[in-house]
Structure 1
Amino acid sequence: MDQRPVTQATPPGVKIRDFVAGPRLQIAFSLDGEQCRELLPPCPINKSSIQRASALREEIRRKIKDGTFCYADYFPDSPRAAAPKQDSSLMERLLQKQLETYERQVTNGRLTLSTYRGYAKAVNGARMRRWHGVQVRDVTPGMLRSWVSEMDCTSKAIRNMLTPLRSVFEDALNDELIDFNPFDRIALAKLIRQTAKASDYVVNPFTAAERAALLDACRPDERPMLQFWLATGLRPGELQALEWRHIDWERRIARIELNQVAGEIKKPKTDAGVRDVDLDASAIGALQVQRPLSEAKGSRIWLNPRDGEPWSTDAQVRKTFWLPVCTRSKVDYRNPYQVRHTYASTLLTDGHNPWYVAAQLGHKDVEMVFRTYGRFIREDYQKPKPELRNAENSKSV
Structure 2
Amino acid sequence: MDRGHRGITIRGNSAQIAFTYQGVRCRESIPMPLTKAAQKELVLKRQAILYEIKTGSFDYCKHFPHSKKAKEFRKTRPDQYTIGEALKYWLQRNQTKCQPSTLRDYSSAIYYHLIPVFGELAISELTAIKIKEFLADLSCSNKRKSNILIPLRRVFDELYHDEIIDKNPLERVKNLPANTREPAPFNADEISRILQELKEQERNLIQFAFYSGLRTSELIALRWQDVDFEKNCFYVRSAKVRGHLKCTKTKSGKRDVTLQPQAKEALLNQQALTGKHNEIVFHDSRTNQPWKDDQAIRKIVWTPALKRADIKYRNPYQTRHTFASMLLSRGENPMWVAQQMGHKDWSMIIKVYGRWIPQSK
Contact 1:225 1:286 in 2 (8 A): yes
**Residues 168 and 284 (structure 1), Cα distance of their counterparts in 2 relative to 1, 3 Å cut:** closer
* Contact 1:154-1:197 at 8 Å conserved across structures: no
Letter in 2 for 1:228: F
Q: Is 1:329–2:316 an aligned residue pair? A: no
Q: How many angstroms apart in 1 are the aligned matches of 2:194 and 2:93?
A: 46
Counterpart contact for 2:83–2:115, Cα < 8 Å: no
| 8 A Cα contact 1:214 1:329, kept in partner | yes
Q: CA deviation at 1:72?
A: 5.8
Q: Are the counterparts in 1 of residues 237 and 248 from structure 2 also a CA contact under 8 Å?
A: yes
Listed one character per residue, the Cα deviations across residues 213-270 of structure 1 (whole Å, up to 9, x for unaligned) are: 1000002332111111111111111111111111111121111222222222222243
- Which among 80, 84, 89 is matched to residue 92 of structure 1? 84
User: For residues 181 and 364 of structure 1, do their structure 2 counterparts lie closer, same or farther at Cα, with a shift above 3 Å needed?
Assistant: closer
- Report matched runs for 1:104-183 at 5 Å: 106=96, 110-126=97-113, 128-151=115-138, 153-172=140-159, 178=165, 180-183=167-170
Q: Is the 8 A contact 1:227 1:286 kept in 2?
A: yes
Superposed CA offset, 1:52-97 (max 9, x none): xxxxxxxxxxxxxxxx9x88679xxxxxxxxxxxx97233233222
How far is the alpha carbon of 1:341 from its aligned partner? Answer: 0.3
User: Is contact 1:89–1:177 with CA below 8 Å preserved after alignment?
Assistant: no
Q: How far apart, in 2, do the equivalents of 1:129 and 1:243 lie? A: 43
Residue 240 and residue 166 in structure 1: after superposition, are their counterparts in 2 closer, same or farther (change >3 A)? Answer: same
**1:124 counterpart SS class:** helix
Whether 2:341 is the aligned partner of 1:354: answer: no
Alignment correspondent of 2:266 = 286
Quick one: which of 361, 367, 378 aligns to 2:358?
378
Q: Which runs of 5+ in 2 are unaligned?
A: 1-60, 69-78
Q: CA deviation at 1:208?
A: 1.2
Distance 1:278 1:141 in 2: 48
Q: Which amino acid aligns with 1:347?
A: L
Change (3 A) 1:174 1:375: closer
Stretches of structure 1 that go unaligned for 5 or more consecutive residues are: 1-67, 75-86, 382-397
Structure 2 residue identity aligned to 1:343? F
1:360 Cα deviation (Å)? Answer: 1.1
Rounded to whole Å, the distance in 2 between the matches of 1:312 and 1:255 is: 21
Tell me, in whole angstroms, the C-alpha distance in 2 between the residues paired with 1:227 and 1:173: 50
Aligned twin of 1:297: 277
Structure 1 position 328, deviation (Å):
2.1
Is 1:242 the counterpart of 2:222? The answer is yes
Letter in 1 for 2:153: R
Name the CA distance, whole Å, in 2 between partners of 1:227 and 1:180: 53
**Does the CA-based 8 Å contact 1:355-1:366 persist in structure 2?**
yes
Instruction: Please say if residues 201 and 283 of structure 2, whose CA atoms lie closer than 8 Å, have aligned partners that are also in contact.
Output: no
Task: Kindly provide the amino acid, as one letter, of the partner of residue 155 in structure 2.
Answer: V
CA contact (8 A) 1:253 1:276 kept: yes
Amino acid at match of 2:310: K
Taking the aligned partners of 2:224 and 2:354, their CA distance within structure 1 comes to: 34
TM-score normalised by length of structure 1: 0.66
Q: Give the RMSD, CA atoms, in angstroms.
A: 2.7
Measure the CA separation in 2 of the matches of 1:172 and 1:298: 49
Identify the residue that residue 71 of structure 2 maps to in structure 1.
Answer: none
Q: Distance in 2 between matches of 1:251 and 1:298?
A: 18
**What secondary structure is seen at the aligned counterpart in 2 of 1:330?**
coil
**CA contact 2:201–2:282 (8 Å) conserved in 1:** no
**Mean CA deviation greater in 320-329 or 248-257:** 320-329
Is residue 339 from structure 1 mapped to residue 319 from structure 2 by the alignment?
yes
Q: Quick check: 114-123 or 153-162, which moved more? A: 153-162
Task: State the AA in 2 paired with 1:375.
Answer: R
1:20 is matched with which residue?
none
Answer whether contact 1:137 1:177 (CA < 8 A) is retained. no
SS of corresponding position for 1:222: helix
**Take 1:177 and 1:275, find their aligned partners in 2: how far apart are those partners?**
42
Partners of 1:170 and 1:271 lie apart in 2 by 24
Instruction: Give the SS at the match of 1:255.
Output: strand
| Alpha carbons of structure 1 residues 306 and 369: separation in structure 2 relative to 1, 3 Å | same
Aligned-pair CA distance for 1:129: 2.0
Matched residue SS, 1:319: helix
User: What is the one-letter code of the residue matched to 1:168?
Assistant: V
Cα-to-partner distance string for 1:317-342 (whole Å, 9 max, x where unaligned): 21222122222222111110000001
Alpha-carbon distance between aligned partners in 1 of 2:65 and 2:278, rounded to the nearest angstrom: 54
Does the CA-based 8 Å contact 2:143-2:178 persist in structure 1?
no
SS of the residue aligned with 1:221? Answer: helix
User: The residue matched to 1:307 in structure 2 has which SS?
Assistant: coil
Provide TM-score, normalisation by structure 2: 0.72
Change (3 A) 1:296 1:97: same
Q: 1:136 corresponds to which letter in structure 2? A: I
Shift of 1:200: 5.2
Distance 1:128 1:201 in 2: 31
Residue 149 of structure 1 deviates from its aligned partner by 4.9
Change (3 A) 1:352 1:238: same
User: Is 1:101 equivalent to 2:93 in the alignment?
Assistant: yes
CA contact under 8 A between 2:243 and 2:292: conserved in structure 1? yes
Which segment drifts farther, 175-184 or 294-303? Answer: 175-184
